[in-house]
Amino acid sequence: MTKADAPFAEDLATDDPRRDEGSGVEQEAEEQSVEKAARLSARLIYEVIRRDGKEELSRPISSLVWSGFTAGVLISFSLIGEAVFRAHLPPTNWRPLVDNLGYTLGFLLVIHGRMQLFTENTITTVLPLMARFCRERIRATIRLWTTVLAANVVGAFVAAGFMLWTGAFPDQLQVAMRDISLHALDMSIVEGFFHAMPAGVLIAALVWILPTTPNITLVVVIFTWLIAAGDFAHIIAGSVEMAYLMLGGDIGVMRGFVGFFLPVLLGNIVGGTMVFTMMAWAQVMNEVNGRRG
């Protein structure tokens, strides 16, 4: 409960005649009920994410590597889930709205599993940096970003290799995964950058909203479905598609990394950090009143 809410809570306490008769236990139970009902303020959301980010910045490299690698592998289920829908639905105008639900599966696994996904760090690690902008925090942020991004991409390539070379997926799914991947990479460098910005904003907004929502699954599904349905580009989910095409011989290294990876990476960073995170910081920086985390 915010400071502004405190007088209101005191009014509730003094106006209730039962207070004089009630026990301290009853008063404490009522106060807890009021606090639970109070809407989490923007400053408190900021504080929750800032503390999470501060903890992430201090994690050992080995923990970041394994968490990032696992996230890169698990996010491949976005491509797999979408391909399953695509392979079994008729080719109608409404099919994309349904098969894009499969795209949410990888994000559900990663977010519920608390794995390190690079795009989440465009807000979680930047807020601690805004709270105390110093050389130490800058180094820690760069260390985390490069470690997690590299681990995510390696995981994406391992997953793509598994999908292509093990025979675990039938031809019907292979065709669907290839079609989806070709569509995802069918954009110019400029288009890749601008398609990636909304995805960066949506992932940062998702991270901002999660501390306030009782239904994490529903929120994750809505936000990540919108990324797929809007044809926006996400650097890690897109890396699985890029790796699938590169390992399958459909595109070369230059087309994959220069034509897709770099512009999408930059677009996600701009959308997640320079757009959403800076706006989120602007609305709370005066309330933080110079506090340093």
Tell me: the pLDDT tens digits for 144-181? 999 999 999 999 999 999 999 999 999 999 999 999 99
pLDDT digits (tens, 9 = 90+) for 249-284: 999 999 999 999 999 999 999 999 888 888 888 888
What CATH number is attached to the domain comprising 249? 1.20.1080.10
d(C-alpha 193, C-alpha 165), whole Å: 31
Query: Are 69 and 23 within one domain?
Result: no
Query: Are 20 and 140 within one domain?
Result: no
Query: Are 83 and 219 within one domain?
Result: yes
Query: Are 54 and 185 within one domain?
Result: yes
Query: Are 74 and 138 within one domain?
Result: yes
Query: Are 85 and 182 within one domain?
Result: yes
Query: Are 197 and 221 within one domain?
Result: yes
pLDDT at 8 over 70: no
- Whether 293 maps to a domain, the answer reads no
pLDDT digits (tens, 9 = 90+) for 56-85: 888 899 999 999 999 999 999 999 999 999
Query: Are 126 and 188 within one domain?
Result: yes
d(C-alpha 111, C-alpha 207), whole Å: 10
d(C-alpha 159, C-alpha 269), whole Å: 24
Tokens of 17: 């005649």
Q: What domain range includes position 18?
A: 3-37
* CA separation, residue 289 to residues 12, 162, 216, 274 (Å): 29, 51, 31, 22
Half-sphere exposure of 139 (CA within 13 A, CB side): 4
- Whether 12 maps to a domain, the answer reads yes
Q: Which residue has the tokens 């320079």?
A: 274
Query: Are 132 and 248 within one domain?
Result: yes
Query: Are 89 and 153 within one domain?
Result: yes
- Whether 177 maps to a domain, the answer reads yes
3-class SS at 203?
helix
Query: Are 91 and 193 within one domain?
Result: yes
d(C-alpha 226, C-alpha 232), whole Å: 8
pLDDT digits (tens, 9 = 90+) for 179-231: 999 999 999 999 999 999 999 999 999 999 998 888 999 999 999 999 999 99
* Spacing of C-alpha 275 from chain mean position: 15
Task: Flag the least confident range among 9-18, 30-39, 197-206, 208-217.
Answer: 9-18
d(C-alpha 88, C-alpha 91), whole Å: 9
Q: How confident is the model at residue 12 (pLDDT cuts 50, 70, 90)?
A: very low
Q: Per the structure, how many domains does the chain have?
A: 2
- Whether 168 maps to a domain, the answer reads yes
Q: How confident is the model at residue 286 (pLDDT cuts 50, 70, 90)?
A: confident
Query: Are 53 and 124 within one domain?
Result: yes
- Whether 85 maps to a domain, the answer reads yes
- Whether 22 maps to a domain, the answer reads yes
